[in-house]
Structure 1
Amino acid sequence: MTDNYIYVITALLPLSACMLVFQVNPYNALVIRGILGAVAALVYAMFGAADVALTEALVGTMLAITLYAVAVRSSLTMRLGVIQDWEVEADGESLPDSKTKPDFGELMDDLRTILSKHYMRLELVTYTDRQSLHRALLAKEVHGTCTEDERWLFEQDQRGLAPGSTQKASPQDDQDQVAQEYETLPYHTQTRVQRLYEIMQSELSLSATSLTYVNIPEAGKDH
């Protein structure tokens, strides 16, 4: 009867292991992994293997959790390439009228909300021009890019409007403009990751951006 506590503590090993296997939140999984390592070290110590318990605590638990935490933080980040001035608006600061990007801040907020549902975070990486953005996407420096749609810019120029400005019009003109805006969206988002494309296609409100998947082949299968 006096050894019942040993059976209870030992039973925590498969229980915590099952919790770890079926945990979908990677951050909660790190906590459960720490609990599993602590229980394992305690079991080893109870059965007289103090050296094994010490090794499990220092290497099997502390070192493993540190490496897992670094891997989780780096792998669950979407790097989105944008034009340099846009990051200011996405951070909630105001831009000069000539640089205002329509709905860009709202688009980034929606994207952050969607990624957070999958335990991911959004990191904006700024570039000076479209060519730099395209090269970064091909070089796999970023997971995706977001730029103004060139057709939308052309339509704005045809109307004689600067991007982000408005113009009073008759009700009929408003209807024509709305119909045309449904055809051409202000932004074009590209991603080279199939899973990110599926997430954004199914959950992102595509009222401000078009979405394209870019299949970038491996260069000589080196990566």
Structure 2
Amino acid sequence: MMTTDISTLLIIALLPLAAGLVVLQKNPYHALVIRGILGAVAALVYAVLGGADVALTEALVGTMLAITLYAVAVRSSLVMRLGMISEGIDEKNPQFEALMDGLQQTLDKYHMRLDLVSYGDRTSLDRALIDKEIHATCIPSGEEKTAKPYHTTIRVERLYEIMQTELPNEVTSLSMPSLEKRS
């Protein structure tokens, strides 16, 4: 029977602790860091218990490669691409700045970032929304002296729900295309 000292048992006890922390994380970037720690602890356990080849494989594939791939996936999936007509919106307008601040604050709660994408005309902007190049469009409402000078169309149902309930300002009206147009 193999005897293990207390330090080995403590290292082994870190595995379920780190795994539990990964599952409980709301911030995906924190989960990535803890997943890296979990992989490093697992590699250490394998090395201490005599499995040097398994430890090396865990360190290289299970930790480094997996974390890199997860980081790329998380980074690319946590973005809201907002399309707008390059000539139609004055980015120095205080109402537009208030809208962008409100969008960014709302997205920050979900660890997302906002990417602005400019289009030359309304047709290409609408086509980009239909072709799923962007998640939403923002255009001037066209009505002077209105309480909501911008109109935002969001094609992703979850983003629409978030913006509808959490967008803190009244600078834009929100809409979502019908189901027939989205499919």
- What TM-score results when the alignment is normalised by the length of structure 1? 0.76
- Whole-angstrom distance in 1 between the partners of 2:24 and 2:98: 34
Q: Judging changes above 3 Å, is the alpha-carbon distance between structure 1 residues 67 and 86 closer, same or farther for their aligned structure 2 residues? A: farther
RMSD: 1.8
Equivalent residue, structure 2, for 1:133:
125
**1:6-155 superposed matches below 5 A:** 6-85=8-87, 89=91, 94=92, 101=93, 103-150=95-142, 152=143
Distance in structure 2 (CA, Å) of the matches to 1:36 and 1:117: 26
State the alpha-carbon separation in 1 of the partners of residues 157 and 103 from structure 2: 16
Question: Structure 1 residues 16, 86: closer, same or farther in 2, change over 3 A?
Answer: farther
The AA in structure 2 aligned to 1:138 is: I
Q: Distance in 1 between matches of 2:149 and 2:17?
A: 52
Residue identity matched to 1:136: A
CA distance in 2, matches of 1:126, 1:57: 43
* Counterpart Cα distance in 1 of 2:29 and 2:89: 28
What is the letter of the counterpart of residue 74 of structure 1?
A: S
**Alignment-mate amino acid for residue 210 of structure 1:** S
Bigger Rg, which one: 1
Contact 2:98 2:169 in 1 (8 A): no
Percent identity between the aligned chains? 61
Unmatched 5+ residue regions in structure 1?
95-100, 157-176, 219-223
Name the SS of the counterpart of 1:103 in structure 2: helix
Residue 76 of structure 2 aligns with an amino acid whose one-letter code is S
User: Runs of 5+ in structure 2 lacking a partner?
Assistant: none
Query: 1:176-215 residue pairs with structure 2 within 5 A?
Result: 181-182=146-147, 185-214=148-177, 215=179
In 1, are the aligned partners of 2:85 and 2:121 still within 8 Å (CA)? Answer: yes
8 Å CA contact 1:149–1:186 kept in 2: the answer is yes
